[in-house]
Structure 1
Amino acid sequence: MLSQKTIDIVKSTVPVLEVHGEAITRCFYKLMFTDHPELLNVFNQTNQKVGQQPKALAASVYAAAKHIDNLEAILPVVKQIGHKHRSLEIKPEHYPIVGKYLLLAIKEVLQDAATDEVIEAWGEAYGAIADVFISVEANMYKEATTAVGGWEGFRKFILARKEEESDVITSFYLKPEDGQSISTFAPGQYISIKVNVPGEEYTSIRQYSLSDAPNGDYYRISVKRESAKEEIPDGVVSTYLHDHVHEGDVVEITAPAGDFTLDTTKETPVLFISGGIGQTPFIPMLKTVAKEQPERKATFIHAAINNHFHALKDEVAEVVASSDNITNYVCYEHPTEADRANQAFDKEGYINTEWLAELITTKETDVYFCGPLPFMKAINQAVKEIGVPTENIHFEFFGPAGELE
């Protein structure tokens, strides 16, 4: 139990964290990786280089400080991060390391403002916050390990099938090397895949949404080849998977994780809106609605550049054709002449508020969306303008959490 004095000191640092939070977290990662380079086997270095991870951590630290007197308020965020920690094999012994370098970073960035009293209060507060994470994650580890077909840590899977879905997206069908059962998952969850890429000093771990419904036989991930753009280099793992992992090869994955899942207890209309590779968590959601909630009205909207970049189109069409209550729409940013001739899309350009307003017939609709950050910002703004209540808006970031407002 934190003392009122500790709570007051930590809350007094909230305005400072709002200004200097990212500087602190950038310093934190630099200090920690210098002394513990083995942790580079866990963290996505691209997210470090482009600043996404420091920014996400700064937001988490800010939220924890702001709610230090009521940590239950940040439990949804703790659970979301906890799922990622569990899928990356973050364990209790990592938390003291993080705490040590977080305090050193606060001291280095804030200098004289980080008095002994402030550092001591933050040390106590971090201990309380870490205890919450460790407790939540302990339950997640237990659930993953004790589930039917579940396992602990990384498990070897064979690439049973590899299929090109578009010019930039390929699906990978993974079956357990030991031939034993695999755990089921909630539609929308992901797995972590670990590979050793030639030329890379450290192991690379990435998280990919499971793109097919639970079937007890295999897991499928559909991976976009991430090409270099501006300061971001080619995707290390996506390029390796596309070019160098072939049928019969073995990779290691953790059990399914994630809290971005379809709420099947609700019967209200559901709308899935995806951009590019953002449709992968929605394919199993759509199939689940069709199979388990045949009376539930569902709409599937997908945006792509054109048909060359549109993956899993026929698969979605088959699901839609099998149901009386599911409709789907396609939006192409730059359709080809063949797309026009084949009437392969329903809207040209971008998804906008006016078009969505025609498709959202009731504000009780549950809206799920995922895609590139600019796309997500536009969709978030549009559905709010239409009047969909916040509690009915669900989204997933591919990578560290960002800001949509």
Structure 2
Amino acid sequence: MDSILVTGNGPLSGTIPIAGAKNACLTLMPATLLSDEPLTLTNAPGLSDIRTMTQLLQSLGAEVTSLQDGKVLAMSCHGAINSRAEYDIVRKMRASNLVLGPLLAREGHAEVSLPGGCAIGARPMDIHTSGLQQMGAEIELRDGYLHAKADGGHLKGAVIDFPFASVGATENIMMAATLAKGTTVINNAAREPEIVDLATCLRKMGAQIDGDGTSRIEIQGVDRLHGATHPVVSDRIELGTYMLAPAICGGEVECLGGRIELVGAFCEKLDAAGISIEETPTGLKVARKNGRIRAVDVTTAPFPGFPTDLQAQFMALMCTAEGTSVLEEKIFENRFMHAPELERMGADIDVHGGHATVRGVERLKGAPVMATDLRASVSLILAGLAAEGETVVNRVYHLDRGYERVEEKLRNVGAKIERVKSQ
């Protein structure tokens, strides 16, 4: 199993291009199931999760071709559809559940295995299935599969009140509603940029959607959708991650393609910690201000709040901050698994339930550490960049699910980092 070797090497300088958003691309790809005409996505990230979704869509009957080194995905679903999403593929990735809504909308029935993904806490499907049931679907769980059937072969518009703002459920219901009979209203909808990106793409395909980016989304069903070409929005989590690199190491890095509106709450915390962020014509330029980083408290929240997917990386920054910070995780109940690994590097962290208290130390020291999930992987790499000596991050197979060419991008701004292939 591969590992990443990181050696503290001082300040960073240069530019890092930000890839298309993994979570947006994984949502946009199943939209091809809604039409028999081609859907082309540009600015696609080259990640293992994208390859997994490609495999899943191909198993369902879609044609998916990767062009321009994976930056363009040409998809078409004009033939016969297989409505069963098999466990062997779905188990690899949580986002696989996003084929449920499109399959139901197009075919009137679907069998989808319960999904997998990172072990960061319970992420049940009940909010997805409840919304689809309100649209006339009959759904039961048998042998690990969700067996779903639309009453009369067609979903029907409904007013759906989510108990919380679930991103995945908002996406699934949005796609299902585009071909449903009548009007669907989603109350307490998620507001993430990935939701807006999906709505923009679906409108290009002929969908009638209003209110994306707010907590109330209205979709008027249409008879059919057509093809479209759509660029995937920049990855705000990759953006935030690489903004933290000069914050932790010092120096100045421009993140190409970055926009403040994608990471507004995150930028506010960086500013409070003593990090300079400057908008440029091509992205965001980030540099540490004079002196040591200041401790800042963080509470994760749905967009536009502080992203849970940047909590682990921000904890790495707080490990050497001046003072004590408290990080409160309110999205997933099991997302401090990186804390013991940071402690192996000399961090002073106490975890109690959903709170982590971080007392800043002068310096971290390199050590062998173990990645537990995708974001934990990169948080340990960031910590290693600022630590004395060598840090070996083991079990980094998670990393390739969310970051493309991470070693190359960091080396290009002066980091000393390399991948060590397993024997």
TM-score (ref. length: structure 1): 0.28
| Greater relative contact order, per chain length (Cα 8 Å cut-off, separation 6+) | 2
Q: Larger strand proportion, structure 1 or 2?
A: 2
